[in-house]
């Protein structure tokens, strides 16, 4: 499809961009811009990070899982375009030289891109900004030192002034949800591409050919967030960083979980709709949304329907979604915040959960009056802990009640053993998460992330 | 003087602008071809039928090669010719290259490589240590045994007997640049090879054998790697040989790079180990006698398993005098990736063994583990020797430990942690101080040699070349600092060029931390040869003595006359003085018998010590490193900034090995952790919150380059303090010894905690 974008400040128009050619391959193989590196081809190492700017601002994205049509109407800056036209280094680049932030140098272009994006945005949560960039040489300390020094310097003009060009129109890249509904009804076999953080792996790792493909990125009316007295509603195309910003205010623990959800680059691309729609049993949003009693709103053509999100997940790889039907919105009822979300993974950042537990237990006068508990990683689908909930409701909120749920866990879950964790560990920690929830509720310190030396 | 200055990496500016070129970035001719291997999907058996018709028919495929199509040797082993490039009909592990696709694009080659229709006759694979022992499947005829004194009697006589077993996982190198090679055919059947390799001479050698030509027909060039860590010592052979064979066959440039998943599935990793120990100690915790058993899985081919396992044995003492000792080492052959070199080369595994013993002794006797360690340290006076009979002449760990104890406030923090733990039921902290004594030299003595080639041009600019390779460690900069200092000029006079087998022949791998020691010396010798010629000529011109000629501050001082270095070079050129020289260096004093386990395998030792504090969650096993203090002996550092960079990075990599980095194979022998989505190296926030790193003020007692010490591998083992701190935290949950295995994932920590709490299985 025809696309127009800016590359390091220069307008590029492609009349026929293949839908599944990645930006990384195009840069390296077609454009000869080999500064951007392939480290993994799945968005997990950040060596391919580039800077993308549009009306929504500046963000780092992984070029290895970014399809060319997603760039239509945007501005792309690669490591080659971070220095000034006269060769003056960007403050981030200079600081990385001065503070020994590179050793083998292979991850460095990706770090530079992620750091320039963070610098442009004035972000100083360096560990989170760089969680998606792996470095095997330095141990990260000098990179953070460099980032801190660069933060004292202003954003250079050549990075800040980057006006994106007008996008080319295309049937398979609708600009409204109505057009999307029409296009998908017409091509019900199409692959919908939201952020491509999952679909791109079908191409880069499974080597699949996808055709046809509908890109959702231009549907601005799918990117809205609406907060009313009754609900918080996210359009399906709201990315995970935006969702984090919104949800953190109402459910801080959910926000904290999203901080650890993949990486900045992935969260800049990944959407809440995509994370729900792909039905992964280890997606991190669904358990939290189930615990919050969220609704998923589906659309097919002009037909709309809504259902509790827990009912959307039927079986492994199977969701309650008809051909040509898509997730339009997710809504969360406003409620008193009782939610805690516990993400357990081998590594804290940028890791798929072994177990993700979401708990919302309502206690009135010392008695449990309601409980919504859901897990990822414990079954073939994101699943509610019905027996555990029943075992709690009506009981006094104390450690005996927590201990008495013991048998209910096995009634609810028989998890698998895989490379992330054993079945036994999963079941044990799921149980222990309820203990953690209880202890946290009564004021105990339970998070290693909040301890210092 | 350029020596000892904290200069940035020589190509830092190119790194940050994306201009530093790696093998896959070199522009290829328009008609270049791209290669991919078709891999086995079983771990053990034979190929009954190899139907490649769909592969050949796939889009953009130019050729498909099997073992039968190889013109000469079908071998990419660095050791005993047991590693066919393409399967000879036998399958030894899941992921073994069976056939080679040559296509017009990388993607086309990858797609076609998945289309092979292969029928196997499967045999029972050997995966575990138990499997291998039962089948007597091993490298070498039997276990290697090194011993001294009478350990059995000493253990029997000792007041305390302690026994245990430690499981240590392997480690994926995860260099950010996956393996890559490109071969350009030349006239006369020669080839030029670009290979991401730590060992260009080995690539040259294997390519020459595969093509049936002498080594002079193969020129290997290597400017930089995107990380190596040992993973590019031998594992690049297959790609370079495949490209060479295909390039000669097609007459076109051929390039191959592994997709990350392929890289992790095909190539070798750090050796995993099981170490069992029986140790007799006195009431002060001093080891009277000790008996170690090492079992390591070497994978399907021998590769470098023997020297790796040897080095594990040679580091079974670490910093401790073991008067009566026996170490038995089993090198097992299994149907898994062929384990290979990885930073420390077995040393870390052997060292974790004895550190576990120290920790266990302390727990048994109710002592501070640091006190037990110090009680067992080698004497500082050089009166003691290692189990293999090398005198420990320069043992500086007493002083280093004192310094680190003070700078890290170890004792006060240890008490504070005990109080904190008493007040916190869910979270527990732990702290540990561990030392490192690491032997420097290749244990295969003949590898301890290096060459250099230095040119001074008539404009005074200097070009230098040596046999070492740059993988990020800053070797080129250190060596350039040596050259600049020999000629007394600024660094911008010196240009370092790509490692090239056509410039310096018969090089050893850049490995064993030897890069600066060997190549720095070779460059110094070459520079001094040129300098002596220049001095002799200038002295003659000015009726001075060559001894009075000084090269400094960019000038050459001849008595009262001062010439710029450029003027001196021009004058020498005009007077027909040779301004190019080679340098050759071999490490002195080495004498080692690896069969007997006796002699002096190491020129010297590099020392270090680290303190790590951690916190664990007793409900989930989640854990974090809170603070780390490191002190490393780099001798008189050639470049303290680069050395500190090595120390910081090595610690995090070492801690990663022992915590989150877990390799998991399924029951079929398929590696399930074959991408960064499933194999977790440390991320940014995993580095310690507080991270203090210092170099110990020391000079190498041996005559190394400017009295510096090797720094590539030794600090990797500083990461051991993280494992021991975790063990300390687990120990705070109960009374028994934690027996914490590595990697200490959340799951293993939780298991250990529950054992402490008497819960056992949940």
Instruction: Annotate B537-598 with DSSP letters as a single string.
Output: HHHHHTT--GGGEEEETTEEEETTEEEEHHHHHHHHHHTT---EEEEEEE-SS-EEETTTTE
Confidence of residue A165 (pLDDT cuts 50, 70, 90): confident
Alpha carbon distance B132, B147 (integer Å)? 24
Alpha carbon distance A298, A185 (integer Å)? 13
Query: Nearest CA to CA, how far is A365 from chain B (Å)?
Result: 26
* B residues 11-50 lying closer than 8 A (beta carbon) to A: 11-22, 24-25, 27
Question: Would you call B616 an interface residue with chain A, using a CB distance cutoff of 8 Å?
Answer: yes
Q: Which two tokens stand for residue B640?
A: 């303290």
Q: State residue B759's pLDDT score.
A: 58
Alpha carbon distance B463, B483 (integer Å)? 9
Q: State residue B761's pLDDT score.
A: 42
Of B8, B624, B675, the CB nearest to A97: B8
Residue A346, phi then psi, degrees to nearest 5: -60, -40
* Strand B254-257 with B273-281, pairing: unpaired
Residues of A within 8 A of B648 (CB-CB) are 138-139, 141-142
Alpha carbon distance B519, A444 (integer Å)? 57
Greatest CA span in chain A, whole angstroms? 71
Confidence of residue A160 (pLDDT cuts 50, 70, 90): confident
- Is residue B531 within 8 A of residue B361, CB to CB? The reply is no
Q: Kindly report the CA angle at A370 between A384 and A230, in degrees rounded to 5?
A: 90
Query: Nearest CA to CA, how far is A70 from chain B (Å)?
Result: 21
Question: Would you call B423 an interface residue with chain A, using a CB distance cutoff of 8 Å?
Answer: no
Residue A398 has pLDDT above 90, yes or no: yes
- Is residue B569 within 8 A of residue B459, CB to CB? The reply is yes
The alpha carbon of residue A428 and the mean position of all alpha carbons in its chain are separated, in whole angstroms, by 27
Q: Which of A93, A104, A107 to mutate to test the interface with B (most CBs of B within 10 A)?
A: A104
- Is residue B619 within 8 A of residue A435, CB to CB? The reply is yes
DSSP labels for B434-462? EEEEEEES-SSGGG-EEEEEEEE-TTS-E
- Is residue B337 within 8 A of residue B266, CB to CB? The reply is yes
Q: State residue B760's pLDDT score.
A: 46
Q: State residue A201's pLDDT score.
A: 97
Residues of B within 8 A of A108 (CB-CB) are 15-16, 20
What lies within 8 Å, CB to CB, of B126 at 6+ separation is B44, B132, B135, B137, B333, B334, B335
Residue A171, phi then psi, degrees to nearest 5: -55, -40
* B residues 145-184 lying closer than 8 A (beta carbon) to A: 173-178
Q: Which of B408, B473, B648, B685 to mutate to test the interface with A (most CBs of A within 10 A)?
A: B685
Mean pLDDT (10-residue bins), chain B, 762 residues: 92 98 96 98 98 98 98 96 98 98 98 98 98 98 97 98 98 98 98 98 98 98 98 98 98 98 98 98 98 98 98 98 98 98 98 98 98 98 98 97 98 98 97 98 96 98 97 97 98 96 97 96 98 97 93 94 97 98 98 96 98 98 98 98 98 98 98 98 98 97 97 98 98 96 98 86 40
Of A35, A428, A448, the CB nearest to B18: A35
With the C-alpha atoms ordered B534, B535, B540, B542, is the resulting torsion angle positive or negative? positive
Interface contact flag, B746 A346, Cβ < 8 Å: yes
Alpha carbon distance B169, A86 (integer Å)? 50
Closest CA to B496 of B512, B513, B517, B482: B482
pTM: 0.98
Interface contact flag, B649 A37, Cβ < 8 Å: no
Of B110, B745, B762, the CB nearest to A207: B110
B167 burial level (CB within 10 Å; 0-12, 13-18, 19+): middle
A97 to chain B: closest CA residue: B12
Which helix or strand (DSSP H or E) is residue B109 part of?
Answer: helix B106-113
Interface contact flag, A37 B176, Cβ < 8 Å: yes
Interface contact flag, A447 B617, Cβ < 8 Å: yes
How much is the average pLDDT of A329-336? 98
ipTM value for the complex: 0.97
Relative orientation angle of helices A108-121 and A141-150, to the nearest 10 degrees: 40
Alpha carbon distance B284, B49 (integer Å)? 65
Query: Nearest CA to CA, how far is A334 from chain B (Å)?
Result: 31
Residues of A within 8 A of B664 (CB-CB) are 419
Query: Nearest CA to CA, how far is B19 from chain A (Å)?
Result: 6
- Is residue B129 within 8 A of residue B297, CB to CB? The reply is yes
Alpha carbon distance A59, A73 (integer Å)? 15
What lies within 8 Å, CB to CB, of A193 at 6+ separation is A67, A70, A199, A213, A214, A215, A216, A217
Alpha carbon distance A165, B467 (integer Å)? 51
Query: Nearest CA to CA, how far is A185 from chain B (Å)?
Result: 32
Of B617, B681, B685, the CB nearest to A136: B681
Tell me the catalytic residues of B: 713
Q: State residue A106's pLDDT score.
A: 98
- Is residue B303 within 8 A of residue B83, CB to CB? The reply is yes
Closest CA to B555 of B546, B547, B563: B563
**C-alpha count within 13 angstroms, C-beta hemisphere, residue B712:** 27
Say which residue the tokens 């615990």 belong to: A291
Task: Identify the DSSP state of B492.
Answer: G
Q: Which of A443, A444, A453 to mutate to test the interface with B (most CBs of B within 10 A)?
A: A453
B641 to chain A: closest CA residue: A100
How much is the average pLDDT of A406-419? 97
Interface contact flag, A436 B427, Cβ < 8 Å: no
Q: State residue A341's pLDDT score.
A: 98
């Amino acid at each position: 499809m025809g696309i127009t974008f800016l590359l390091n400040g220069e307008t590029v128009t492609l009349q026929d961009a293949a839908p599944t050619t990645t930006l990384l391959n195009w840069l390296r193989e077609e454009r000869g811009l080999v500064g951007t590196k392939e480290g993994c081809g799945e968005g997990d190492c950040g060596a391919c990070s580039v800077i993308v700017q549009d009306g929504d601002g500046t963000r780092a994205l992984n070029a290895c899982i970014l399809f060319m049509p997603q760039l239509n109407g945007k501005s792309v800056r690669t490591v080659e375009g971070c220095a000034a036209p006269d060769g003056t280094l960007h403050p981030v680049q200079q600081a990385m030289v001065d503070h020994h932030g590179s050793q083998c140098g292979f991850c460095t272009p990706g770090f530079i891109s992620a750091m320039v994006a963070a610098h442009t945005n004035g972000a100083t949560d360096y560990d989170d900004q760089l969680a998606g960039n792996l470095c095997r040489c330095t141990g990260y300390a000098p990179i953070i030192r460099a980032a801190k020094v660069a933060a004292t310097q202003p954003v250079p003009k050549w990075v800040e002034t980057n006006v994106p060009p007008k996008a080319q129109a295309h049937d398979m890249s609708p600009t409204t949800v109505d057009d999307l509904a029409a296009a998908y009804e017409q091509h019900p076999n199409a692959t919908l591409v939201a952020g491509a953080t999952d679909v791109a792996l079908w191409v880069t790792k499974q080597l699949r050919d996808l055709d046809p493909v509908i890109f959702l990125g231009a549907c601005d009316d799918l990117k809205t967030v609406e907060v009313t007295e009754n609900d918080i509603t996210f359009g399906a195309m709201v990315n995970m960083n935006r969702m984090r910003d919104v949800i953190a205010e109402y459910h801080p623990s959910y926000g904290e979980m999203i901080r650890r959800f993949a990486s900045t680059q992935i969260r800049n691309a990944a959407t809440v709709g995509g994370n729900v729609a792909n039905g992964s049993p280890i997606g991190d949003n669904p358990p939290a949304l189930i615990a919050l009693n969220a609704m998923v709103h589906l659309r097919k053509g002009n037909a709309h329907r809504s259902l509790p999100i827990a009912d959307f997940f039927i079986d492994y790889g199977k969701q309650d979604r008809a051909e040509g039907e898509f997730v339009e919105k997710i809504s969360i009822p406003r409620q008193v915040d009782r939610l805690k979300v516990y993400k357990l993974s081998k590594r804290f950042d940028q890791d798929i959960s072994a177990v993700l537990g979401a708990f919302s237990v309502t206690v009135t006068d010392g008695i449990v009056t309601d409980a919504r508990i859901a897990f990822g990683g414990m079954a073939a689908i994101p699943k509610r802990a019905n027996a555990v909930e029943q075992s709690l409701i009506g009981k006094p909120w104390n450690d005996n009640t927590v201990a008495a749920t013991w048998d209910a866990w096995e009634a609810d879950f028989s998890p698998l053993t895989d490379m992330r964790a054993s079945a036994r560990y999963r079941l044990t920690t799921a149980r222990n998460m309820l203990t953690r929830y209880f202890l946290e509720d009564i004021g105990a310190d339970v998070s290693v992330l909040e301890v210092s030396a | 003087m350029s020596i000892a200055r904290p200069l940035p990496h020589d190509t830092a500016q190119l790194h940050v602008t994306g201009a530093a070129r790696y093998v896959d970035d070199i522009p290829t001719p328009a008609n270049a071809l791209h290669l991919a291997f078709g891999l086995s999907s079983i771990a053990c058996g034979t190929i009954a039928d190899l139907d490649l018709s769909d592969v050949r028919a796939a889009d953009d495929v130019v050729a498909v090669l099997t073992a039968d199509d190889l013109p000469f040797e079908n071998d990419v082993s660095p050791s005993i010719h047991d590693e066919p490039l393409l399967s000879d009909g036998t399958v030894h592990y899941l992921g073994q290259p069976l056939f080679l696709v040559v296509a017009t694009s990388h993607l086309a080659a990858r797609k076609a490589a998945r289309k092979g229709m292969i029928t196997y006759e499967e045999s029972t694979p050997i995966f575990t240590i138990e499997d291998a022992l039962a089948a007597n499947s091993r490298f070498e005829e039997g276990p290697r045994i090194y011993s001294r004194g009478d350990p059995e009697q000493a253990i029997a006589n000792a007041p305390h007997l302690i026994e245990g077993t430690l499981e240590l996982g392997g480690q994926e190198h995860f260099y950010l640049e996956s393996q890559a090679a490109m071969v350009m055919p030349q006239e006369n059947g020669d080839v030029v090879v670009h290979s991401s390799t730590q060992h260009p001479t080995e690539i040259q050698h294997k390519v020459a054998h595969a093509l049936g030509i002498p080594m002079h027909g193969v020129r290997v060039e290597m400017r930089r790697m995107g990380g190596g860590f040992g993973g590019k010592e031998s594992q690049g052979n297959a790609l370079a040989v495949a490209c060479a064979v295909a390039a000669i066959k097609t007459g076109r440039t051929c390039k191959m790079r592994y997709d990350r998943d392929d890289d992790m599935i095909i190539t070798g990793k750090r050796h995993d180990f099981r170490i069992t120990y029986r140790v007799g100690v006195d009431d002060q915790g001093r080891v009277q006698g000790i008996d170690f058993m090492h079992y390591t899985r070497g994978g399907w081919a021998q590769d470098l398993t023997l020297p790796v396992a040897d080095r594990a044995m040679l580091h079974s003492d670490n910093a401790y005098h073991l008067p009566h000792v026996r170490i038995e080492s089993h090198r097992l052959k299994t149907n898994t990736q062929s384990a290979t070199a990885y930073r420390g080369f077995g040393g870390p595994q052997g060292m974790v063994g004895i550190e576990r013993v120290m920790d266990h002794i302390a727990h048994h006797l109710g002592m501070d583990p640091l006190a037990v360690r110090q009680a067992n340290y080698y004497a500082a006076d050089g009166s003691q020797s290692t189990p293999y009979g090398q005198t420990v002449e320069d043992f500086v760990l007493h002083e280093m430990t004192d310094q680190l104890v003070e700078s890290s406030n170890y004792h006060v923090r240890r008490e504070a942690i005990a109080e904190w733990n008493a007040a916190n039921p869910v979270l527990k902290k732990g702290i540990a101080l561990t030392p490192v004594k690491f032997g420097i030299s290749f244990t295969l003595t003949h590898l301890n040699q290096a060459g250099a080639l230095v040119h001074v041009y008539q404009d005074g600019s200097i070009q230098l070349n040596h046999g070492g390779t740059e993988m990020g460690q800053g070797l080129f900069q250190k060596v350039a600092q040596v050259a600049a200092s020999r000629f007394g000029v600024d660094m911008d006079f010196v240009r370092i060029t790509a490692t090239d087998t056509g410039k310096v022949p018969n090089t050893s791998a850049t490995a064993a931390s030897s890069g600066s020691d060997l190549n720095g010396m070779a460059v110094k010798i070459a520079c001094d040869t040129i300098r002596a010629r220049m001095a002799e000529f200038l002295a003659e011109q000015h009726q001075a003595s060559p001894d009075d000629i000084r090269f400094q501050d960019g000038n050459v001082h001849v008595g009262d006359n001062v010439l710029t270095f450029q003027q001196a070079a021009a004058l020498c050129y005009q007077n027909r003085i040779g301004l190019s020289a080679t340098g050759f260096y071999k490490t002195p004093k080495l004498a080692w018998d690896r069969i007997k386990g006796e002699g002096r395998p190491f020129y010297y030792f590099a020392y270090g010590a680290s303190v790590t504090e951690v916190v664990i969650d007793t409900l989930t096993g989640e854990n974090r490193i809170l603070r780390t203090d490191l002190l490393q002996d780099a001798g008189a550092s050639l470049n303290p900034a680069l050395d500190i960079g090595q120390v910081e990075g090595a610690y995090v990599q070492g801690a990663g090995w022992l915590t989150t980095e877990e390799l998991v194979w399924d029951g079929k022998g398929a590696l399930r952790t074959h991408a960064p989505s499933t194999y977790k190296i440390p991320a940014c926030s995993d580095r310690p919150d507080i991270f203090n790193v210092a170099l110990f003020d020391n000079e190498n007692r041996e005559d190394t380059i400017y009295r510096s010490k090797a720094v590539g591998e030794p600090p990797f083992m500083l990461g051991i303090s993280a494992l021991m701190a975790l063990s300390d935290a687990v120990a705070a949950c109960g009374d028994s010894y934690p027996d914490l295995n590595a990697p200490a994932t959340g799951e293993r920590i939780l298991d250990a905690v529950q054992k402490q709490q008497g819960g056992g299985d949940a």
